[in-house]
Structure 1
């Protein structure tokens, strides 16, 4: 970064870490700040179909020509300096350079993994957000939740401000202690500020935000799920701090217009087809709970592709109580779990299970089998969702006209 004159410095930044919810929180934060007229740099990972999804200004993908020029510039520097660089580090340098060259007013950065040693932590963010603490990527972060909390809280800057959604007092104390040692201010969801869901819904939901100085009633959020209300609360609190209060109209506009793919994303109706990248125990539990609360359906047909490094037994147990029929696929080999091994784990739950060649073949089988009031849930990893997105780019009508509606329950 020194070679490029530290492009990550000099632009105000909001830095977001957490086991689950950091991408959604980043998207909500960006949407609110863009609604105020600010020029936003937006860096998230991973991507679904196009690497350029990771690097955006005002939610527009980096142009291909700009991407090529940055790749060549960084490649030349790496060769000249003779230093090894990872794929993620390369992408992060690209984002910092792109935002600097285009004079963004604020950068919203999602941590790639952990926080303390993450490439994004080269930024100097006066505001940081910690969305949640649970188990994931344990081969890198370990299985001690206190240690995981420390890794993520290490993005907090001296004299900065952190907003956190950590219900567990013992885990929160790790974050709070680190913040105090750095003379940073801590604002905790359900303590210094609160949210209350009023009306869940399939397309959007309504909630109240109660802050120390301001309350906003009947806010409309275009993302579904109770956990998205929590993420929105973090984003509103952070934006109020960033803007030194903020205009209520801009906050409302940002919440109503926010878009974030691959999280409880409905891509088709009759049957309802939902894409969700849930890939760890906490996110799978949230997903199944929210789908049961927000969508009426007769049967649930699940397409599942998992990575080998996840808590597979626990995920299978949760999903077996949710789904009525399962279609198991292998995605992103060799990291992806063998679907035949997954099938063995499902046997004790006595649910119909079949192995499919691919996500598209599973979808074709479901199209022939499903009824209009079924729920089709495609989940387990971002790779599984990406394969489904490719399918729906070309498949405009998923319903089977030969199947008649059944009564919902």
Structure 2
């Protein structure tokens, strides 16, 4: 679509609804994903967001295949607890778009977003450019942070690193949580290529927190090129679980016993390493307060809803599902132990039922294989196509599942909301319902259950 056509059809303003704006921004560019910074930079510079971040804020940028959301959530919560006005940007959202843009934990209001969209649209038209939905919305988030004069910006990379919109902002601290195979159409089909893309967030002389014990040569080359200081898990910092309520974090300077958060210890350790390596003033009280309060829906998110046990996790690739299973196996043992205590009310053994859907461009076969080979007693799969353009069809999901499990174990539905109702009706109070496969799967299930 040409800019002249966009200009002639654009009639949105601050009286238009957030939904109208979001729908409009999905239509003004030829593709939903368009890697590169050449189009977005002129608009960002006209808006002044690049200079604002450079002059007025301390910026954490977090890249990685999995764990970015949890890591950014912990960094933001710690900085907020320490008294800094903290901006957090992450994506995608689960229920409402506003989740992506937060200041001191509060979601941006519809009107704040609409005002920012108006300004981004005006700047885009002034530059005579088209921008993708992600580019438009990310610029709006950065503008909101700049206008709010936030002390700390915590930015989650959407895709890759080097060519992601977030990378128009120079970070003061970089984090790479891990590197796995994902988004091969855009990042490459091997660890070295993907590592090079994610290491694109590095800048001269900054620090990098690297959250995996395996480092591709491409990442090390980027570290050397930028003369960055790298703190790697297992070498420069470590963590271990002490009991169900406490864990230990250690680096070369300090060892701390801390309250166990509701999020992954691996991602929490990466986040704490980033904060501790920064010049920000954060004391033990702030750390403890943050870890006791931080939460993020859909990240190993265990709940009891409508007399059923649910586990929601946004795992959507082999790396993510493998990590999910490492946490799920001990949870299942605990669950069984509790059911044994309550066995007088149960007449059938507890099983696991999977509520499942994925995007069609993901490696669905590998994810299903990981779940099947986990050894967990998965009795049934409830599948439906999620409401998203890149969603896998129900036929595609069934075809892959049918190569691993009996057809009687596969239950198909037209909508994920119907599948959510069905798995609840088909389960018993002693069962565990695991919801996974995509952010959109979790979002639609939570919406169907009328929870957030």
Please state whether the residue corresponding to 1:349 is helix, strand or coil. coil
Paired residue for 1:340?
A: 395
Query: Are residues 1:327 and 2:382 paired?
Result: yes
Per-residue CA deviation, residues 232-284 of structure 1 (Å, 9 max, x unaligned), is 11111111122457311211111111011111112325421111111101111
Task: State the 1:124 CA deviation.
Answer: 1.5
* Aligned with residue 221 of structure 1, among 243, 248, 261: 261
Task: State the 1:4 CA deviation.
Answer: 1.8
Task: State the 1:320 CA deviation.
Answer: 2.3
RMSD over aligned CA atoms reads 1.7
Task: State the 1:194 CA deviation.
Answer: 0.5
Paired residue for 1:373?
A: 430
Structure 2 residues not aligned, in runs of 5+: 1-43, 337-349
| Separation of aligned partners in 2, 1:288 and 1:273 | 15
Please state whether the residue corresponding to 1:112 is helix, strand or coil. coil
* Aligned with residue 175 of structure 1, among 204, 219, 231: 219
| Separation of aligned partners in 1, 2:436 and 2:320 | 10
What does 1:259-338 align with in structure 2 at a 5 Å threshold?
259-269=295-305, 270-295=307-332, 296-297=335-336, 298-321=350-373, 322=376, 323-338=378-393
Higher mean C-alpha deviation, range 268-277 or range 240-249? 240-249
Paired residue for 1:358?
A: 415
| Separation of aligned partners in 2, 1:285 and 1:192 | 25
Task: State the 1:74 CA deviation.
Answer: 1.2
| Separation of aligned partners in 2, 1:368 and 1:111 | 39
Higher mean C-alpha deviation, range 138-147 or range 269-278? 269-278
Per-residue CA deviation, residues 346-398 of structure 1 (Å, 9 max, x unaligned), is 22333411111222212222222211110001111111111111112279xxx
Task: State the 1:333 CA deviation.
Answer: 4.4
| Separation of aligned partners in 1, 2:236 and 2:106 | 34
Please state whether the residue corresponding to 1:250 is helix, strand or coil. helix
Please state whether the residue corresponding to 2:249 is helix, strand or coil. strand
Task: State the 1:206 CA deviation.
Answer: 2.6
| Separation of aligned partners in 2, 1:332 and 1:394 | 18
Paired residue for 2:156?
A: 110
In the comparison of the two structures, how many residue pairs are matched? 385
Higher mean C-alpha deviation, range 352-361 or range 341-350? 341-350
Structure 1 residues not aligned, in runs of 5+: 396-409
Asked whether the 8 Å contact 2:79–2:282 carries over to 1, the reply is: no
Task: State the 1:52 CA deviation.
Answer: 1.2
Asked whether the 8 Å contact 1:209–1:215 carries over to 2, the reply is: yes
What does 1:70-89 align with in structure 2 at a 5 Å threshold?
70-89=116-135
Asked whether the 8 Å contact 1:8–1:97 carries over to 2, the reply is: no
Paired residue for 2:272?
A: 236
Asked whether the 8 Å contact 1:220–1:252 carries over to 2, the reply is: no
Task: State the 1:334 CA deviation.
Answer: 3.9
Paired residue for 1:406?
A: none
Paired residue for 1:249?
A: 285
| Separation of aligned partners in 2, 1:140 and 1:134 | 14
| Separation of aligned partners in 2, 1:164 and 1:229 | 15
Paired residue for 2:21?
A: none
Query: Are residues 1:191 and 2:239 paired?
Result: no
Query: Are residues 1:164 and 2:210 paired?
Result: yes
Asked whether the 8 Å contact 2:87–2:152 carries over to 1, the reply is: yes
Asked whether the 8 Å contact 1:53–1:61 carries over to 2, the reply is: yes
Asked whether the 8 Å contact 1:8–1:122 carries over to 2, the reply is: no
Paired residue for 2:247?
A: 207
Higher mean C-alpha deviation, range 343-352 or range 81-90? 343-352
Task: State the 1:218 CA deviation.
Answer: 4.0
Please state whether the residue corresponding to 1:194 is helix, strand or coil. strand
Query: Are residues 1:3 and 2:58 paired?
Result: no
| Separation of aligned partners in 2, 1:358 and 1:154 | 39
Please state whether the residue corresponding to 2:53 is helix, strand or coil. coil
